[in-house]
Structure 1
Amino acid sequence: MNNINNKPINGNDLITLGYPENEILGIALKINKKRTGYTKTEMLEKYTQLLTSPQDFIEDKVFKILAEAFAKGVHLPKEGETIIPLNEEIKAFKIYGAEKIEDGALEQMKVAMQLPVTVAGALMPDAHQGYGLPIGGVLATKNAIIPYGVGVDIGCRMALSVYDLPSTHYFENHDLLKNILMKNTKFGAGHGFHGKYKAEHQVLDDSKFETNSFIQNLKDKAWSQLGSSGGGNHFVEFGLIDFKENDDKLNIKKGTYLALLTHSGSRGFGATIAGHYTQIAKDICKLPYKAKNLAYLDLNSEAGQEYWLAMNLAGEYASACHEIIHQKIAKELGAEILAKIENHHNFAWKEIYNNEEVIVHRKGATPASKDLMGIIPGSMTAPGFLVRGKGEENAINSASHGAGRQMSRTQAIKSLSQNKINDYLNDFGITLIGGGKDEAPMAYKNIHEVMNAQQDLVDVVATFTPKMVRMADDGSKED
């Protein structure tokens, strides 16, 4: 009995009691997190009583907010409001690495597969729960764009520069490389450049900045953060990349080279766009509560066209940020770049699937069309991989965007000791500048297991081993 009473109440428990799948359910679950001394059985009894007589709980310290929500009719659609029903059938979708994917991500993907605009979907082996579409979710829709299917950090990407410098250069110039990273990178949510330190790039002249006044008003923010990186899991790192054999397509000979790998996105510019158009989508597209974060815009509508342009601009802006960082560091190194590879996620593309044009959302998933190059990182102590896509249709031409989290940020902060993390980094010879416990390598899945689960999706071209990593050190979470 004690074990049962210690288990948290979930949405299905409340739905079984008769709670509606809308904001009421969210309020009830928030109350449950507090528990306030009640057992699970006692809480369920309270929920049942409240459902029958909400007026009896108006003065109750714990349940007052829920009783008030019922009194205000929060659970009822507004007059004239039509809820778009989900399809009863969950369309089949391919899951890669299913044994390592949490139930929350699977449930989110199932909901996405019930949308009336859904054509196909797939779940990558690094998948974990997010907002709307899970991280690692790939969703093809018919003429519809889902802002939360793209994500908050629009156009987030990986960029790799392979230098004409041997691996020994790292060990012989460790302190110099650290100074180069410190001098030429800037991290953290809200952080940017001012005055003469602002970067210049042709992306600022893009006509899409004139789409509407909302986008126009974001241009100054975009300029100030141009060439910077966010918080959370964003990084700039030096590492060693090993080519086991000659790669004729890249024109790189077998060997191990110094390389620079960067990961970040469209900064506050993209995040503001995501928030704005997600709210517009929710106002226009009324879905059942469990699907509300999958609200979509018709691509032929004015709002849909605006978001499409803004999303593409944010992607180009994210690319410009990486370009500036890589140019600065190459100049400081005095090195030639043998190859530059870049790929992005948190984006939507127009593609052909089963002979029809669809909108493919890749939220935390890497494009992996036939022969397309990409980078799949592990963690700061685990290798990353330079890959070529195989163009697997079941995966909608996609692969994972990394190892994926196995521990939430909160869980990592609470359960991991800084001393243990430091010892772990030392064991792997990692120099870490910044970073928080939430980004500890133990918080991530085993990248080798993730790669094994997607052998049908990509071929490995080279292996990248991180050596010196810079991340935000201010606890910011803009990722």
Structure 2
Amino acid sequence: MLQVQGPAIATLPVGDDHSPITVIGTDPIRESFGSQTFQQAINSRLAPGVSRVVLNPDAHVGYGAPVGCVMVSPSHVYPGPVGVDIKCSMSLLQTNLPAEEIADPKVRRRIIQAIAKRVPTGAGRGQRHAPKSRSVDAALGFQLATEGASKSVLKKLGIPKSWATRCEDASHTAPDGSVDTLAARLDWMGRQRDKRDRIESKYRQLGSYGGGNHFGEAEVVSLSQDPELRAIGEQWGLRDGQVAFLSHCGSRGFGHDLAMGQFRAMKAHFQSTGLAFPAGDPQLVYAEAASPEGQKYLCDMAMGANFATVNHLLINQLVLESFRDVFPGVQGELIYFISHNIARQEPIDGKLQWVHRKGATRAFPAGHEQLVGTDFESTGHPILLPSNPRDGSSIMVARPGASVSAFSVNHGAGRRLSRTKAKKQLNQSNVDQDLLDHDIISNCRAYPRDEAPDAYKDFNEVLASVRHAGLADEVARLKAKFVLKDGAPADD
């Protein structure tokens, strides 16, 4: 039984020996979760080594643990609460192009066509589908998977080196802090011929979106009218009334293969040693972080995360080049790149713990110790929250109250309808006309019904939950003008 603590905070007791689950959401949002979501949260909280679990307003049933949850452990790592799309993320590119320059749908079509020549969409698609993309051979793929957004990698791909400072994490190392350990593991994988060919084919997906809920959107920025919040947005580099570009994607087939390999390896370890799956659910396999199994998982997660980071940065560079095909001389700067499928070591309750965010976003306020020395030390970092094209997306900034949620917020609106139900219940012509009525065009002949705005929760209610819980405030709202998507199954 939920115990309400405030207008948007409740707790779910799980027993005297465990702290309760923190539930973020207004009454309508909490009612949207459903019993299976709560049961997955309880299973996660009672799993070995777990110290805290948080449900965010976008929570819904996931892989072992709910999507939209935070799972904290001082000692254990869990692949399920990271997911199969390691470091699925958001990024935002701000241009100096006034919104009126893309008012004409014909102009937007030209930009869409230019982007399509550089950045493919769809599961399995890569460089060969984009004639103006970058060529990524085995050597460069190996380097970026082990180094992340290093100066050398960025130079080879023609990405501004300053963009690395606008990343939640520009690179990830092995648990021992070494790149060499990652290189040794990837080299070992590559010595198996069947794996080598597959790995090299996945490298060539760099600079692509994938399918499902991944997208690219051209946005018009509307800064908050609150003087403090508006000043924060301007300090970040946001430009009121000008065009920005929002991207959602992850580590593509490279990260998926690493994640699935780890699920298989951990399940096999459980079976060979007789370990019991938490709540009998194989999707909640785990390892102690210091164990050989835990170290291998963290290495593979780091390599998937490195790929995702460089994938986003390259997409943003290719998008900027595409805008320049239509508007020569247009300038663009990366505002931020932030993940929502990752496990990071962070100070929680006075000690470093593994914070697993599955469909959840980091939310560090001004002055947080992990922001010291970054561009965001005095403001807090941007939180990029997508919703759907019709209802817009949000950029928020964390407040000190985010400590109640392990310095995390939701990663978007969250699903209201499953993909199957959305396809059955939503009418295709209504979906397409709804977007046109809101002056939004896309690259799709028929917009995917399972990705339609009505498949998602009420975004304003989701944002109200975050504000009323004291976690974050809105700095800017983004209004979509065109969307790049694909109807293929989701990667995450």
TM bucket, shorter chain: 0.7 to 0.9
Instruction: Establish whether residue 441 from structure 1 lines up as the match of residue 453 from structure 2.
Output: yes
Q: Of 328, 333, 343, which residue of structure 1 is paired with 2:323? A: 333
Report the counterpart of residue 370 of structure 2 in structure 1: none
Contact 2:259 2:300 in 1 (8 A): no
1:214 — aligned with what? Answer: 189
2-structure distance, mates of 1:401, 1:277: 24
Pair 1:176 & 2:110 matched: yes
Amino acid in the other structure paired with 2:100: T
Say whether 1:349 aligns with 2:329: no
Shift of 1:445: 0.3
Instruction: Check if 1:155 corresponds to 2:155.
Output: no
Match status 1:123 vs 2:55: yes
More displaced 10-residue stretch of structure 1: 236-245 or 315-324: 236-245
Q: Quick one: distance in 1 between partners of 2:240 and 2:203? A: 39
Amino acid corresponding to residue 457 of structure 1 in structure 2? L
**Is 2:297 aligned against 1:361?**
no
Query: Once the 2 structures are TM-superposed, how far is the Cα of residue 199 of structure 1 from its aligned partner?
Result: 3.3
Matching residue of 2:217: 237
Structure 1 counterpart of 2:144, one-letter code: V
Q: Give distance in 2, aligned partners of 1:302 and 1:254.
A: 48
Contact 2:77–2:289 (Cα < 8 Å) also in 1: yes
Whether the 8 Å CA contact 1:232–1:472 is kept in 2: the answer is yes
Q: 1:451 to 1:133 in 2, by over 3 A?
A: same
> AA paired with 1:366?
T
Distance 1:308 1:426, change over 3 A: same
Partner Cα distance (1:450, 1:166) in 2? 29
Whether 1:461 and 2:482 are equivalent positions in the alignment is no
Unaligned stretches of 5+ in structure 1?
Answer: 1-85
1:418 partnered with 2:408: no
Deviations 1:181-202 (A, max 9, x none): 3222211222222498553465
Matching residue of 1:470: 484
Counterpart of 2:267 in structure 1 is 282
Cα gap change, 1:336 to 1:95, in 2 (>3 Å): same
The alpha carbon displacement at 1:289 in A equals 4.8
- Secondary structure of 1:125 counterpart: strand
Partners of 1:293 and 1:117 in 2: how far apart? 16
5+ residue gaps, structure 2: 1-13, 148-178, 225-229, 271-275, 325-329, 366-379
Matched residue SS, 1:324? helix
Letter of the structure 2 residue corresponding to residue 189 of structure 1: A
Aligned to 2:158: none
Return structure 1 stretches of 4+ with deviation > 6 angstroms.
none
Contact persistence 1:351–1:359 (CA under 8 A) = yes
Match of 1:36 in 2: none
**Alignment-mate amino acid for residue 170 of structure 1:** I
Q: Is the 8 A contact 1:163 1:338 kept in 2?
A: yes
Distance of aligned partners of 1:306 and 1:151 in 2 relative to their CA distance in 1, 3 Å threshold: same
Q: Contact (CA 8 Å) 1:170, 1:177: kept in 2 or not? A: no
- Deviation string, structure 1 residues 123-151 (Cα, Å, up to 9, x no partner): 00000001111000100012211011110
> Is 2:247 aligned against 1:262?
yes
Q: Distance in 1 between matches of 2:23 and 2:128?
A: 46
Please point out which of 371, 376, 384 is paired with 2:385: 376
1:239 touches 1:259 (CA, 8 Å); kept in 2?
yes
Displacement of 1:256 in angstroms is 1.0
How does the TM-score come out when normalised to structure 2? 0.75
SS of 1:459's equivalent in the other structure is strand
Find the aligned partners of 1:341 and 1:251 in 2 and give their Cα distance: 9
Distance in structure 2 (CA, Å) of the matches to 1:470 and 1:393: 35
Deviations 1:391-440 (A, max 9, x none): 41210000000000000000001111111111211221110223411111
Measured after TM superposition, the shift of residue 282 of structure 1 is 2.3
Q: Distance in 1 between matches of 2:232 and 2:348?
A: 30
Select the structure with the greater relative contact order (CA < 8 A; seq sep ≥ 6). 2
